[in-house]
Amino acid sequence: MSGEEVLVPLVGAVCMFTTIFGIAYMRNRENMALIERGINPRQTQQRPRFYTNLKYGLLVCGAGLGLLIAFFIDEFGLNHKAVFSNGETYTRDFPQIYFALISLFGGLGLVISYAIEKKGWKAHENKED
């Protein structure tokens, strides 16, 4: 192995350790700030998680829909044959459309999930009053 190849796992391990240490450090700082305010960090009030399955379901459905639409666009809508200047033909691939549409429709699924959750939270808060 050359010197550059040895650096890749070394830098990766240092980055992973630094990330884990940073997360633990920030969590400790947050807990200390809560204690200074007189709040027990183990009893923080969190909203119940009613819509977790809805969120992940819409995310996966959106990503699947994006993948399906990307396949149809790639298969039927794009010209895969190209010609060199000397007359030879070759086929082109367009993998970018798959990544773009999976991200687009997955994000759209999360936005729809947020809108549904927001309506649910407003109805839940009105019941408590």
Picking from 27-36, 38-47, 103-112, 117-126, which range would have the lowest pLDDT averaged per residue? 38-47
| pLDDT at 6 (0 to 100) | 85
pTM over 0.75: no
Side-chain half-sphere CA neighbours of 11 within 13 A: 6
Q: Choose the weakest-confidence range: 21-35, 39-53, 75-89, 98-112.
A: 39-53
Domain ranges (residues) in the chain:
3-43, 52-128
pLDDT tens figures, 62-111: 999 999 998 888 888 877 777 778 888 877 788 888 899 999 999 999 99
Mean model confidence pLDDT for the chain: 85
What's the 3-state SS for 3-66? Answer: HHHHHHHHHHHHHHHHHHHHHHHHHHHHHHHHHHCCCCHHHCCCCCCCCHHHHHHHHHHHHHHH
Predicted confidence at residue 1, as pLDDT, reads: 67
Give the pLDDT band of residue 19 (cuts 50, 70, 90).
very high
Is the separation of the CB atoms in 94 and 81 below 8 Å? no
- Residue range 123-129: mean pLDDT, rounded: 71
In the predicted model, what is the mean pLDDT of residues 5-19? Answer: 91
